[in-house]
A and B are shown apart, each in its own frame.
Chain A
């Protein structure tokens, strides 16, 4: 055999990423936090939706979060870390909405976001420009829309943009307020609707493979390993109206890389 050890430079890069775990430099952790944000708190549901095309519907359910922009739009461009000045905040503002665009294919951009749940500290959303950023089907760089940016800190009117030294970006944004409707409650006392800052209800809005809109039970979702389906109920939590597919239902199983070792059959 020829070399059976990793190239020293590659090894150093991977080791350094692992050594950064537990620190603010950890891209692994920032990456996971971003995934959680996008996943409205239930990664498994969204992952299932992404792999099957069956959409988890988060709008128009009880408990949905509505974000309303306030005041004027401001923009800035920069290279490396910088800031976006939004001017004085309206009293009703609780967050900011931003449009983030990479102008080159270097590094990543991180922006503080509002806490996902009450009592938690905020996270960072990280946008990766390396490799061309988010490119749409026509090859154009697609901007990201961030609806949960943290307000500027007390005494400041600017949002900090943390970017790698060579990363060029253009960001526009404005203040916003957010409101949440209450979850519904069925005859069995189960809550239903969309996940929000208060957490997730017992039954989460989802679209079945037959196109019908209903609700899935979180506990049933998380019990599925690899691929499979769970029932989609009406809001009564009893009447089944379809199935929600997790993983790839066509037989091309989207295997979790460690399933075989971490999930002994029960």
Chain B
């Protein structure tokens, strides 16, 4: 998407309007992913906000994959959610000042359990494996693009993904009937 590549060029030069536009473009998907991983709206707010703050902090090294910063944001969201308290500490002061609306009705209790179980299992995988799984299995990003996002060759990524899937399948075997509805999120 040429438009996004152009936006990113401006954003990299500290153009606030371009960052705001990228936020508008990716907010729903990133927030949806953060919510599916964290299961709490407040924590999802923090993780999603921190992912965009990281996008600014790392602007000199963030790669565009298929012309988009979306895959990088997703990987960062997964990594931030692995240890939310520690990983968002850098932005503690900013996050503290965010509005704290009453939590809206949480996910279906079984979905919440699925979220928590999946997040816990992802947390036990190596970061790169968790990222590959989320990008391909949950976000529908082609393996080649996912591999590029995490800086691997597609062949190596396939092997890692295969192992990660096997491990998750074993750990989450009892959740399979509802796993689809809870983990897909609903990126708009």
Contact = CB atoms under 8 A, between A and B. Distances in A.
Interface stretch (A11-19, A137-145, A180-188, A199-207): A11-19
Contact of A1 (B87, B107, B151): B107
B52 interface: yes
B28 A4 contact: yes
B143 to A, nearest CB: 15
A: interface residue count bin: 35 or more
B185 A4 contact: yes
Interface in B92-119: 92-94, 96-99, 101, 104-108, 111
Chain B binding surface SS class = helix
B41 A28 contact: no
Contacts of B97: 13, 130
B72 A258 contact: yes
A4 B181 contact: no
A262 B45 CA distance: 23
Given A5-B32, A18-B19, A261-B149, A254 B86 contact: yes
Contacts of B76: 257-258, 261
Interface in B57-96: 57-58, 61-63, 71-72, 75-76, 79-80, 82-83, 86-87, 91-94, 96
Interface string A116-152: 0000000000001011000000000000000000000
Interface in B106-143: 106-108, 111, 127-128, 131
Interface string A48-63: 0000000000000000
B28 A7 contact: no
B178 to A, nearest CB: 12
Q: Which of B19, B72, B128 has the most CB of A within 10 A?
A: B19
Residue of B22, B49, B63 with most partner-chain A CB within 10 A: B49
Nearest to B65: A261
Interface of B: 14-17, 19-20, 22-24, 27-28, 31-32, 35, 41, 44-45, 48-54, 56-58, 61-63, 71-72, 75-76, 79-80, 82-83, 86-87, 91-94, 96-99, 101, 104-108, 111, 127-128, 131, 149-152, 181-182, 185-188
Interface of A: 1-7, 9-11, 13-15, 17-23, 26-29, 31-32, 108, 128, 130-131, 254-265
Given A1-B107, A5-B27, A6-B48, 13 more contacts: A1-B186, A3-B41, A4-B186, A4-B188, A6-B44, A7-B45, A13-B97, A17-B53, A31-B93, A128-B96, A131-B92, A257-B79, A261-B151
17 contacts: A2-B104, A4-B31, A4-B188, A5-B32, A14-B98, A17-B53, A18-B19, A18-B22, A22-B16, A108-B93, A257-B51, A258-B58, A260-B128, A260-B131, A261-B62, A261-B63, A261-B75
